[in-house]
Amino acid sequence: MTQEQIIEKLRTMMRKTSQAKVDWDAVNTDSPIASLGFDSLSILDLVYDIQQELGLEFEAEELVKVKTVGQLAAFLAGKQK
């Protein structure tokens, strides 16, 4: 999967789990994840969805350093075998 494809999938997953009203079409690589309406509970939902829908294995705490959608997509792209 390319990084762009991952971002598209992330947009869909985030739209499902976010607690806030966000203009998802405007979300891009620089969008801070913290601004997208995730609290500690919905972040756990999102990590589950990412692990299962993308079929990637990673340690959840590796995501702590990830701040933007672009960084998340790059991180996930790097986890592809």
Partner 1 sequence: MKKLRHLLEYAAARFGFFLLDRISLPAAIALGRRLADSWYFLNKSRRQIAKENILKAKIASTDSEANRIARDSLRHFAVLAVEYLKAENVLNEGNWKEHVELDVSPETMAIIREPGRGIILVSGHFGNWEVAAQILSYIKPVAGITRDMNNPYTDRLMKQRKQRDRYTLTPKHDAGVDRLLSVLKKGEILALLIDQHASERGMPVDFFGIPASTHTSPALLHLITRAPICFGYCLRTGPMSYKFKAVAPIIHKPTGNRQHDVHTILEQLNHELENAIRQNPEQYLWAHRRWKIPPPRVS
Binding site for partner 1 (CB under 8 A): 40-41, 43-45, 47-49, 51-53, 59-61, 64
- Rg of the chain on CA atoms, in Å: 11
Rounded to a whole number of angstroms, the minimum distance from the CB of residue 61 to partner 1 is: 4
Q: Residue 32: beta bridge partners? A: 68
**Residue closer to partner 1, measured from CB, 22 or 45:** 45
Please name the residue ranges forming H helices in 1-81: 3-17, 40-54, 69-79
Q: Residue 25: beta bridge partners? A: none
Rounded to a whole number of angstroms, the minimum distance from the CB of residue 22 to partner 1 is: 18
Rounded to a whole number of angstroms, the minimum distance from the CB of residue 77 to partner 1 is: 19
